[in-house]
């Protein structure tokens, strides 16, 4: 990178805000996926929106690509700086700006890590519901429209962000959205930026919509002999009008890995984990008995259940360990993590198709079943081209099947590099309008280039 | 209008699909607001998306403005064809295309009236939650991002639309959104079109997200001596983590009109109406007792309450009659209906400000308090310029106050004609990006012209 540019970056951010060190650049060359790492020319660490604005303007004036960076927990290559240039790391923008307890809102800089935010908010009896599992930043979650286990009840990131501050391609700063709980004023630009992975502008601050921590808890672990009985149960629970706060499916292989890695002794069979929240433990009892009925009607062979927060924790602990346990059980191999979602009525079909498609691969099937979202982790060696092409073929087949079933190519991991070639099939001519919007918001194509569009 | 164009329209839609009759044009010249009527040159009645596409392309080729029309229940002049041209009435596109009970989804043409849709869906135990009150069409609701009494729990229209079919400025047809409950695939164009009032494209079909009809009901009517006690109660109920399915405020004057017009004998004091939904009547009892406590702590002087659907109906009937009763009590006068929303912590301030701002006017204050949304109906004579300018001044003052309190100029009625001059104050430079999007999606400025932008 031109020494003149580095000098200007240092003028804006100070020496400590600009790094060209090899190890720092390497750290910012990859996410948690198998996608090929690319080293940025320089990594910068802004402290506030004004810093971001000045860096973006400099990049714009000098035609330098700029890729925003949270903590690199993405799974589709979303933050890899494929055209090099500037990587903008938000770790220095980790301030909680205001807690508006009375409005169930919090204002944050986007470098805040959501797990730490929720730990802090718990003191106020509040939480930010989307929970991608990984230790993501709020900025990364907004970029990706992240979601997770509790989305089935509380929504994805797009449902929980009220207002954002955005730096546009030329360094201009705009605020979009409203602190009011509802508004019909103007175009919904806030929704347009959420999930755009930094390709339309760089989000620097956000007002998040919070939820009160639930008081009543009820949880179940239901075990089935056949996958289809488990997935049919998902469908029946969801379509009965119940509103679970979590509804997770884990295949028998996943349970086996958990047992081995964690020294547990759970049934190594298709399993559902469910959680319900309410205003009191007592008030949840009618739901519990109704869910039990549905499970039994679907030939559930084992049912562990409990009322109250402690029972919830007991039943759920192992779910949070899944990805880690799978990875640790296959040292030396890389995961390809698939991520499709389909309408609930198609969930059994989708899971059935997947079980066939991954035969012969080291594959673990699980997912946020209540949202029709399913993940497959396939562990293999990307350097073994023949093997890896089988893995990629399975991914492609599974995505195409999901689209055939009126689903989506990505439920929550975003487009990044890995899903670009499916957008035309999913969106048809809508993709042309997306490209026009991209060109409008990023006329020089410098904002997280190489993502979304082929 | 050019006879050649009329002939082409008749070729597309048949003779019965094209009207230049005076009475039909007059019917399509106004909405329910005081805004000056403008007669369109012609009213057309498409039957399907292909009809819409062909008409839009004809209009585009011949530079003819085109304004979509539901049933004219808007309140900000949103569907008035201010530049004449073609008014496109969707009453012929009122088909329910598919009920996907198992996915809690319904596919409709946008001319379907939501009240009729909900009557039909109730046979399946389902409903489409946004409820603007008026007999609006789904298309009008999407155009306006309409909401209403139950939005506090179930969201606005934007939260309940999964997928839409849109005819673009040149007649091209795209589909945006997904049937999957979640997706991180591509830009959220669906959210961009919802609330854009037909200024970016014409929505012709929609997949709506439905909710199961609740089984448990609990309702309360709480009466207070002072407005501030009522609004403080709203704030405390909402910030306690309870999730009311409705939380309405009605000022004493509104109750007086209801008594007089309907022969009721309710307290003519600040009143809250609340409703809670649950999985069983029984399960709602802890919430009821908690809400009662909050009301009493705020000096509630009368509390009528009930568990179960019949009680809910008894307590709520009069709320649905409000607008009608107010209008009927002032024959010969027109309403100006104000519509602002503020963060909940500012609701008491906002209502207090309003009570002062409308002194000397015939004003009724009520609103969807749980969402921080407040309406003021002022009845007066638009032809009496001196009086009406006082009404408009009050509206302006109230909007500016709402914006000062970090609220929005329109909670649910949209921008239309009436709120255009507040968008710059609310959105700052964000409005410039909105205008660029408008120019991108409507390069000739023919789609519902004269709305949104000054």
pLDDT tens digits for range A347-380 = 999 999 999 999 999 999 999 999 999 999 999 9
| A431 within some domain | no
Closest to B345 (Cβ–Cβ): which among A102, A188, A215? A102
Query: How far is the alpha carbon of B199 from chain A, nearest alpha carbon, in Å?
Result: 10
| A22 within some domain | yes
Q: Is the dihedral of CA A128, A132, A136, A137 positive or negative?
A: negative
Q: Is the dihedral of CA B4, B10, B15, B21 positive or negative?
A: negative
Residue of A nearest to B151 (CA): A182
Alpha helix ranges (H) inside A180-281: 189-193, 227-239, 252-262
Q: Is the domain of B282 the same as that of B371? A: no
Mutate to test the interface with A, among B187, B410, B412 (most CBs of A within 10 A): B187
Task: Please determine, for residue A439, whether its predicted confidence score (pLDDT) is greater than 90.
Answer: yes
Residue of A nearest to B232 (CA): A102
Query: Which of B296, B322, B348 is the last residue before a domain boundary?
Result: B322
- Write out chain B residues lying below 8 Å of A181, CB-based: 152, 341, 343-344, 371-373
Query: Which of A89, A109, A131 is the last residue before a domain boundary?
Result: A89
| B139 within some domain | yes
pLDDT, position A56? 98
Asked whether B231 and B348 are in contact (CB, 8 A), the reply is yes
pLDDT, position A3? 95
| B11 within some domain | yes
pLDDT, position B239? 79
Asked whether A451 and A197 are in contact (CB, 8 A), the reply is yes
Q: What is the pLDDT of residues A250-268, one digit of tens each?
A: 999 999 999 999 888 999 9
| A396 within some domain | yes
Closest to B427 (Cβ–Cβ): which among A181, A186, A239? A186
Is A343 within 8 Å of B413 when comparing Cβ atoms?
Answer: no
**pTM beyond cutoff 0.95:** yes
Query: How far is the alpha carbon of B319 from chain A, nearest alpha carbon, in Å?
Result: 21
Tokens for A47? 């402290």
Residue of A nearest to B241 (CA): A212
Query: How far is the alpha carbon of A251 from chain B, nearest alpha carbon, in Å?
Result: 21
Task: Please determine, for residue A387, whether its predicted confidence score (pLDDT) is greater than 90.
Answer: yes
Domains contained in chain A, number? 4
Query: How far is the alpha carbon of A162 from chain B, nearest alpha carbon, in Å?
Result: 11
Choose among B23, B31, B115, B17: nearest CA to B67: B31
Q: Is the domain of A75 the same as that of A108? A: no
Query: Which of A212, A242, A269 is the last residue before a domain boundary?
Result: A212
Q: Is the domain of A303 the same as that of A348? A: no
Mutate to test the interface with A, among B183, B211, B413, B436 (most CBs of A within 10 A): B183
Q: Is the domain of B182 the same as that of B260? A: no
User: Could you give the CA distance from residue B338 to residue B404 in angstroms, rounded to a whole number?
Assistant: 16
Tokens for B420? 């255009």
- Write out chain B residues lying below 8 Å of A187, CB-based: 192, 195-196, 200, 434, 437-438
Helix (H, G, I), strand (E, B) or coil at B329: coil
- Write out chain A residues lying below 8 Å of B168, CB-based: 433
- Write out chain A residues lying below 8 Å of B151, CB-based: 182
pLDDT, position B240? 79
Q: Is the domain of A354 the same as that of A338? A: yes
pLDDT, position B322? 87
pLDDT, position B241? 73
Q: Is the domain of A51 the same as that of A100? A: no
Q: How many CB pairs under 8 A join A and B?
A: 293
- The burial of B410, by beta-carbon neighbours within 10 Å (0-12 exposed, 13-18 middle, 19 or more buried), is given as buried
Total residues belonging to chain A: 454
Alpha helix ranges (H) inside B189-251: 189-193, 227-239
Q: Is the domain of B45 the same as that of B9? A: yes
Query: How far is the alpha carbon of A405 from chain B, nearest alpha carbon, in Å?
Result: 9
Kindly report the backbone phi and psi dihedral angles of residue B230, in degrees, each rounded to the nearest multiple of 5, phi listed first. Answer: -65, -45
| B447 within some domain | no
User: Given the structure tokens 């056949």, which residue do they identify?
Assistant: A226
The CATH code of the domain that includes B404 is: 3.30.70.2740
Task: Please determine, for residue A320, whether its predicted confidence score (pLDDT) is greater than 80.
Answer: no
pLDDT, position A261? 92
CB atoms within 10 A of CB A170: 14
Give the containing element (helix H, strand E) for B252.
helix B252-262
pLDDT, position B380? 96
Q: Is the domain of A253 the same as that of A240? A: yes
The CATH code of the domain that includes A268 is: 3.30.70.2190
Q: Is the dihedral of CA B310, B272, B114, A162 positive or negative?
A: negative
Q: Is the domain of A147 the same as that of A58? A: no
Domain span holding position A140? 96-212
pLDDT, position B285? 85
Closest to B434 (Cβ–Cβ): which among A172, A189, A409? A189
Residue of A nearest to B287 (CA): A279
The CATH code of the domain that includes A47 is: 3.30.43.10
The per-residue DSSP string of B76-122 comes to: SSTT--TT-SEEEE-TT---EEEEEGGGTEEEEETT-BHHHHHHHHG
Task: Please determine, for residue A395, whether its predicted confidence score (pLDDT) is greater than 80.
Answer: yes
pLDDT, position A315? 79
Is A408 within 8 Å of B172 when comparing Cβ atoms?
Answer: no
Q: Is the domain of A11 the same as that of A62? A: yes
What value does the CA radius of gyration of chain A take, rounded to a whole number of Å?
22
Is B174 within 8 Å of A145 when comparing Cβ atoms?
Answer: no
| DSSP state letter for B363 | E
Q: Is the domain of B169 the same as that of B121? A: yes
Residue A284 — very low, low, confident or very high, per pLDDT cuts 50/70/90?
confident
In sequence order, what are the residues at sequence separation of 6 or more whose Cβ sits closer than 8 angstroms to the Cβ of residue A146?
A130, A132, A136, A140, A156, A157, A412, B184
The CATH code of the domain that includes A136 is: 3.30.465.10
Tokens for A99? 């807690």
pLDDT, position A179? 97
User: Could you give the CA distance from residue A128 to residue A114 in angstroms, rounded to a whole number?
Assistant: 8
| B430 within some domain | no
| B433 within some domain | no
Query: How far is the alpha carbon of A217 from chain B, nearest alpha carbon, in Å?
Result: 13
- Per residue of chain B (454 residues), give pLDDT as tens: 899 999 999 999 999 999 999 999 999 999 999 999 999 999 999 999 999 999 999 999 999 999 999 999 999 999 999 999 999 999 999 999 999 988 999 999 999 999 999 999 999 989 999 988 878 999 999 999 999 999 999 999 999 999 999 999 999 999 999 999 999 999 999 999 999 999 999 999 999 999 988 888 899 999 999 999 999 999 889 877 788 999 999 999 999 999 999 888 999 999 999 999 987 888 788 888 999 999 999 999 999 998 888 888 877 877 878 888 999 999 999 999 999 999 999 999 999 999 999 999 999 999 999 999 999 999 999 999 999 999 999 999 999 999 999 999 999 999 999 999 999 999 999 999 999 999 999 999 999 999 999 9
User: Could you give the CA distance from residue A221 to residue B448 in angstroms, rounded to a whole number?
Assistant: 54
Q: Is the domain of B201 the same as that of B221? A: no
As for the ipTM of the complex, it is 0.96
Helix (H, G, I), strand (E, B) or coil at A416: coil
Residue A135 — very low, low, confident or very high, per pLDDT cuts 50/70/90?
confident
Task: Please determine, for residue A174, whether its predicted confidence score (pLDDT) is greater than 90.
Answer: yes
Query: How far is the alpha carbon of A454 from chain B, nearest alpha carbon, in Å?
Result: 13
Closest to A176 (Cβ–Cβ): which among B279, B430, B440? B430
């Amino acid at each position: 990178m031109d020494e003149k540019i580095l000098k200007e970056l240092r003028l804006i951010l100070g020496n400590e805000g600009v790094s060209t060190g090899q190890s720092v650049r390497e750290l910012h060359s990859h996410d948690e996926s198998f996608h090929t790492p690319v080293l940025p020319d320089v990594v910068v660490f802004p402290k506030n929106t004004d810093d971001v604005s000045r860096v973006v303007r400099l990049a714009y004036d000098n035609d330098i690509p700029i890729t925003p960076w949270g903590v690199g927990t993405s799974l589709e290559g979303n933050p890899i700086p494929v055209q090099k240039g500037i990587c903008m790391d938000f770790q220095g923008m980790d301030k909680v700006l205001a807690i508006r307890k009375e409005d169930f809102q919090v204002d944050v800089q986007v470098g805040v890590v959501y797990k730490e935010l929720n730990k802090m908010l718990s003191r106020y009896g509040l939480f930010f519901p989307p929970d991608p599992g990984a230790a993501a930043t709020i900025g990364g979650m907004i970029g990706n429209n992240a979601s997770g286990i509790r989305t089935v009840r509380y929504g994805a990131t797009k449902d929980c962000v009220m207002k954002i501050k955005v730096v546009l391609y030329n360094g201009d700063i705009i605020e979009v959205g409203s602190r009011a709980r509802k508004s019909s004023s103007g175009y919904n630009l806030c929704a347009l930026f959420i999930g755009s992975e930094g390709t339309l502008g760089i989000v620097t601050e956000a007002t998040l919509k919070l939820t009160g921590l639930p008081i009543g808890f009820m949880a179940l672990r239901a075990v089935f002999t056949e996958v289809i009985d488990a997935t049919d149960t998902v469908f029946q629970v969801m379509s009965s009008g119940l509103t679970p706060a979590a509804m997770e499916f884990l295949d028998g292989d996943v349970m086996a890995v958990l047992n081995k890695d964690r020294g547990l002794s759970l049934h190594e069979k298709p399993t559902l984990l469910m959680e319900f929240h309410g205003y009191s433990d007592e008030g949840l009892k009618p739901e519990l008995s109704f869910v039990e009925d549905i499970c039994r009607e679907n030939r559930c062979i084992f049912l562990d259940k409990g009322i109250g927060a402690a029972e919830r924790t007991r039943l759920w602990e192992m779910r949070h360990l899944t990805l880690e346990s799978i990875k640790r059980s296959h040292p030396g191999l890389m995961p390809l993590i698939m991520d499709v979602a389909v309408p609930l009525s198609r969930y059994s079909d989708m899971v059935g198709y997947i079980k066939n498609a991954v035969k012969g691969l080291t594959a673990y099937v699980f997912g946020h079943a209540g949202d029709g979202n399913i993940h497959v982790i396939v562990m293999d060696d990307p350097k073994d081209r023949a093997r890896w092409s089988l893995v990629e073929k399975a991914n492609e087949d599974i995505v195409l099947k999901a689209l055939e079933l009126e689903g989506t190519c990505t439920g929550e991991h975003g487009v990044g590099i890995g899903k670009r070639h499916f957008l035309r099939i999913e969106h048809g001519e809508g993709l042309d309008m997306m490209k026009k919007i991209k060109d409008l918001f990023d006329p020089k194509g410098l904002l997280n280039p190489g993502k979304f569009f082929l």
